[in-house]
């Protein structure tokens, strides 16, 4: 690591994020270093990043784990915070992040992400993701849903990250469908098969788990829609695996 004595580096992965990237960067202006790793955007993302005086790197996208691992190599901070372009660090979360890294009580922290959908935050349709970590032998794995390799589950910060997850119903479905193709292709390459059991039971279980076990019903109609689209995403993945198996892509 460099001897420039930077405490916190923020890494942002981008591709065609001209409508989001400026606010994302401004929300982490407190960091000692901000690195944007761009997958050769075709819009104004790069120009905006350069105008804001932030370090800009390029790498052709293959998967999220490789993108993050590549960006880590350039980070000079003792700590790294990963941020997506459609996410914002609130002042409350900023203060908690700074307090956490200076207290040195843990090597990593998870952050609470309530999803934003149908003009509201869904506080039961949430994720808790490891995004803040010490810059020591970091490595992400998995090609679709990247995962930090850690020995134990890190503690969760109290304040949540603003995440403008979905622009609307059709955007939500589009994202699920896009991920379904990616997941299906990865599974197909590994020789996995889509059985009738997976095709019918897995979507039902996803809806039941999301809506009832995670209590997303408390988020009202947006929660019901989110749980239903979650189930559709699972069905779509296995349906696409069947198409790939029959060479009908």
> Quick one: pLDDT at residue 5?
60
Structure tokens at 56: 């800009």
Cβ neighbours around 73 below 10 Å, total? 8
Taking a C-beta distance cutoff of 8 angstroms, is the pair 180, 240 a contact? yes
Handedness of CA 130, 153, 93, 214 (dihedral sign): positive
Q: What is the mean pLDDT of residues 133-153?
A: 81
Tens of pLDDT, residue by residue over 144-164, are 667 787 777 899 999 999 998
Structure tokens at 20: 């989001």
Which residue, chain included where needed, has tokens 């809506």? Answer: 211
Residue 219 CB contacts under 8 Å (≥ 6 apart), including other chains: 120, 122, 123, 124, 125, 226
Within 13 Å and on the Cβ side, how many CA atoms surround 19?
3
> Quick one: pLDDT at residue 161?
96
Tens of pLDDT, residue by residue over 34-67, are 999 999 999 999 999 999 999 999 999 988 899 9
Length of the chain: 249
Q: Measured between alpha carbons, how far is 9 from 72 in angstroms, rounded to an integer?
A: 9
Taking a C-beta distance cutoff of 8 angstroms, is the pair 95, 30 a contact? no
Strands 156-160 and 147-148: unpaired
What letter would DSSP give residue 211? I
Tens of pLDDT, residue by residue over 190-209, are 899 999 999 999 999 999 99
Residue 211 CB contacts under 8 Å (≥ 6 apart), including other chains: 217, 223, 224, 227
| Helix orientation angle between 220-245 and 196-208, rounded to the nearest 10 degrees | 170
Phi, psi of 43 (to 5 degrees): -105, -155
In the chain, the domains with their CATH numbers are: 6-163 (3.90.550.10), 169-245 (no CATH)
């Amino acid at each position: 690591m460099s001897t420039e004595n930077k405490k916190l580096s923020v890494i942002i992965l981008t591709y065609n994020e001209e409508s989001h990237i400026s606010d994302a960067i401004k929300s982490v202006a407190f960091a000692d270093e901000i690195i944007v790793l761009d997958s050769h955007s075709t819009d104004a993302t790069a120009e905006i990043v350069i105008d804001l005086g932030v370090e800009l790197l390029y790498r052709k996208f293959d998967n999220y784990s490789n993108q993050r691992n590549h960006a880590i190599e350039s980070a000079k901070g003792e700590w790294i915070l990963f941020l997506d372009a459609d996410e914002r660090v609130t002042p409350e979360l900023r203060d908690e992040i700074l307090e956490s890294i200076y207290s040195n009580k843990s090597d990593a922290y998870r952050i609470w992400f309530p999803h934003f959908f149908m003009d509201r935050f869904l506080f039961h349709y949430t994720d808790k993701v490891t995004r803040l970590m010490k810059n020591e032998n970091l490595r992400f794995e998995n090609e679709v849903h990247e995962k930090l390799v850690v020995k134990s589950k890190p503690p969760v910060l109290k304040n949540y990250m603003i995440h403008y997850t979905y622009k609307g119903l059709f955007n939500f479905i589009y994202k699920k469908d896009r991920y379904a193709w990616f997941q299906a292709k990865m599974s197909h390459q590994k020789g996995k098969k889509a059985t009738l059991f997976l095709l019918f039971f897995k979507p039902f279980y996803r809806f039941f788990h999301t809506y009832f076990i995670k209590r997303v019903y408390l988020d009202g109609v947006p929660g019901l829609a989110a749980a239903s689209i979650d189930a559709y995403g699972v069905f779509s993945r296995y349906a696409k695996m069947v198409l790939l198996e029959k060479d009908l892509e």
